[in-house]
Amino acid sequence: MKQPALVVVCGPPCAGKSAIAGRLATRLGVAHLEMDAIRIRLIHDSKHEEAHRDIAYRAMHDSAELLLKAQKVVVIDATYTRALQRRELKNLADRLGANVYLIQCSTGPETAVARLQARPPGTHAAADLTPESIRTAASSYSYADGALLLRTDDRTLEDCLVSAQCYLDCEPFCRWSWVG
């Protein structure tokens, strides 16, 4: 993987993004920026409003920019559901000439709901999630062609990490039709 590089781990809620991004960043010895953690840190009483998420995405992108300018690799972890956030990510990468590796996590709606229900109450930053919102997100998420797609409900975390590391040895993602 060439530096500077942005490793984007995205997908719908409860698809395994944070588990994969955190472990991948540890293995690579690089920074891991998680949108939900940043939102809670910046806005302690966040009501999970779109405006709060926008603030957290901007802060995450600003932090990533500083790391990329220092010729670092950074792993970022967020849903990237909205085209606005995807455009901001593309603009950041284009402005800095950073390589982008897009790792998309996918899971079936019922597996995603089971993961949500298995979480102890109050342990996840996105407390606004409901079984219905999880089903909808898992069923309607917009994936990019040409990027790595990890189906996390039928693979172990270790298998996903091996696939991700192999992908990082390939050419960076360059099909920005995902931006929308």
Q: Report pLDDT for 176.
A: 64
CA distance 71 to 31: 12
CA distance 67 to 59: 13
Regions in the chain scoring below 70 on pLDDT: 121-128, 174-180
Q: Report pLDDT for 126.
A: 61
State which H helix or E strand residue 148 sits in. strand 148-151
Domain 15-176 has CATH 3.40.50.300: yes
Q: Report pLDDT for 20.
A: 97
Q: Report pLDDT for 170.
A: 83
Q: What is the pTM of this model?
A: 0.90
Is the preceding omega at residue 4 within 30 degrees of 0, hence cis?
Answer: yes
Q: Report pLDDT for 127.
A: 62
Domain borders along the chain are 15-176
Q: Report pLDDT for 103.
A: 95
